[in-house]
Structure 1
Amino acid sequence: MKREIKFRAWDKVYECYLYDVQNAYDTLSGCVKDENGEDAGYDEECFAGFLDNDQYVVEQYTGLHDKNGREIYEGDIVRTGKDNIGDPEPMIGQVIMREGSWLIENEKMQEAIELFSEITSREVIGNIFENPELLEGKQ
């Protein structure tokens, strides 16, 4: 099974996400996209320009989609559904990578559950940069 590898970057200066930052240089198109799929006008010389620059926080695509078909990235804030058979209770947490597994982590409750599940729903409700209040339970 082939897994799609792609990254987005949070620009700390302009406070926006840039999508497909790796593919722009893998294909030599040089076109980094904004959240609407439009050319964002960035001219970093290569993907390493995003990785080695304190202006950006690079986040990886998990290869999974939420219940609405939205791609789930590291740093997204995800809510588990009330229909979740395998989870103890519905929760909200940040998508992280730990020991080779994608998890939903809720630091306040000091718990983490697996992002992937065949029997439960997941929904992206925000991300750590634009919606940090969601992790504090202030929805």
Structure 2
Amino acid sequence: MSIAAKQQELLDELGLFQDWTERYEYVIGLGRKMTPMPEESRNSEHLIKGCQSQVWLDATFENGKVRYLADSDSVITKGMIALFVRVLDDETPDAILTADLSFVDQTGLKEHLAPTRANALNLMATQMKQRALNFASQA
């Protein structure tokens, strides 16, 4: 499934909910379902700097695809990064680097976040693309 198709699938799922609180509950649930990040990976090397909450992001390169693991000390932030992991995990570096990640704006969630948390979404997307860029030469 393409990145665009994964994004549309998420938007369709979120569209089933009538208000933003239900959407947030769903996003928090996505965060809870993520593959757990090993405790040893929750370190300063994997920390996304500039986020209000602590957010850790690790990436590996397997069989030409980028695999992401992420975690946060905040349930809503963990849910937000889960959106990106769901869309970008197991994709090629080139697909990640060329992906339009503005789908997050279409979720309607950003309007209900504090400005610092909304900014964290941009930092997460940037860091995930940076990790992909680091693997691009190996593809």
Fold shared by both chains (TM-score > 0.5): no
Higher relative contact order (CA 8 A, sep 6+): 2
TM-score where L is the length of structure 2: 0.25
Larger radius of gyration: 1
TM-score where L is the length of structure 1: 0.25
Structure with the higher helix share, 1 or 2: 2
Structure with the higher strand share, 1 or 2: 1
